[in-house]
């Protein structure tokens, strides 16, 4: 496939997506098209068992829209919004654990992209994150108004959005917005190693857990319980369950296949 602003490779069962749309990894139509192609690559791959999203742009993970191009609000810009939401929804629903290595500023659509990931790591002193659209008289529109409250709670999320707050890594960790902060020069390596460990786990079971959690959050408690019942029945007969039990009973490490 011809990718324009994303690089894609599989490293030890980790599908590594590296954003490379300098200078700020703006979420352009080409960017969304590349992500759609990458999703197809992951779906067809037998080797990909976890996903890492990183950035090649120094000091920027992504800041969403290029503000210099917002002087004229046209139909193309308005049409981009539902397409971006669809891309974010697809990312969030991937049946694999997804990690974001946030190497710099993650603002607006950039943070909204990171919110779709299951784990988020930042580098020390690597910029700020937030949804500052209100400072332009705008609102977050790629899912941020829904996902940020789910992750950090309504009160903090609402304050961040209505004040347009941009916070540093340590504060983001303290409020549960990111999982951990690493030395900046070790961010990619540590994030990749974390993702490799996830890839060695029972990723079929992880996919089921992820589906149950997301169902409960988006459709309610009762629907989440029904999804638990459904996926428990499907999961309990899979080879990884037999392997996990056998490994436990024999005092060895399991060798999961993701099936």
Q: Which residue in 12, 86, 112, 186 is the catalytic one?
A: 112
The span from the CA of 36 to the CA of 109, in Å, is 16
Residues 6+ apart with CB under 8 A from 227: 211, 212, 215, 216
Question: Which of 41, 92, 113 has its CA nearest to residue 207?
Answer: 92
Q: Which residue in 12, 92, 133, 159 is the catalytic one?
A: 133
Number of neighbours of residue 78 by Cβ within 10 angstroms: 10
104 φ, ψ to 5°? -165, -155
Q: Does residue 112 carry a catalytic annotation?
A: yes
Residues 6+ apart with CB under 8 A from 155: none
Distances (CA, A) of 187 to 6, 106, 129: 19, 15, 16
Q: Does residue 133 carry a catalytic annotation?
A: yes
Residues 6+ apart with CB under 8 A from 102: 55, 61, 114, 120, 121, 122, 123, 126, 127, 129, 178, 187
CA 154 to chain CA centroid, Å, is: 20
Cα first-last separation, the chain: 27
Residue with tokens 């459709």: 219
Residue with tokens 């786990």: 201
The span from the CA of 77 to the CA of 96, in Å, is 31
Residues carrying an active site annotation: 112, 133
């Amino acid at each position: 496939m011809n990718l324009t602003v994303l690089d894609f490779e599989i490293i030890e069962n980790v599908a590594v997506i590296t954003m490379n749309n300098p200078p700020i990894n703006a979420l352009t139509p080409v960017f969304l098209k590349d992500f759609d192609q990458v999703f197809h690559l992951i779906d067809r791959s037998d080797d990909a068992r976890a996903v890492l999203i990183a950035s090649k742009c120094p000091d920027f993970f992504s800041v969403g829209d290029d503000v210099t191009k917002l002087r004229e609000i046209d139909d193309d810009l308005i049409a981009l919004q539902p397409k971006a939401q669809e891309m974010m929804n697809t990312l969030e629903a991937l049946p694999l654990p997804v990690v974001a290595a946030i190497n710099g500023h993650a603002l607006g659509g950039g943070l909204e992209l990171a919110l779709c990931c299951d784990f988020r790591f930042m580098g020390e002193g690597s910029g700020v994150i937030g949804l500052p659209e209100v400072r332009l008289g705008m609102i977050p529109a790629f899912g941020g108004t829904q996902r940020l409250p789910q992750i950090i709670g309504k009160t903090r999320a609402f304050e961040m959005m209505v004040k347009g707050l941009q916070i540093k890594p340590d504060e983001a960790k303290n409020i549960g917005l990111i999982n951990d902060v690493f030395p900046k020069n070790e961010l990619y390596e540590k994030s990749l190693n974390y993702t490799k460990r996830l890839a060695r786990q029972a990723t079929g079971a992880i996919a089921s857990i992820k589906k149950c959690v997301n169902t409960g959050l988006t459709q309610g408690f009762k629907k989440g319980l029904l999804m638990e019942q459904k996926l428990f029945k499907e999961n309990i007969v899979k080879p990884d369950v037999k392997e996990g039990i056998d490994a436990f009973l024999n005092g060895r490490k399991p060798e999961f296949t993701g099936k």
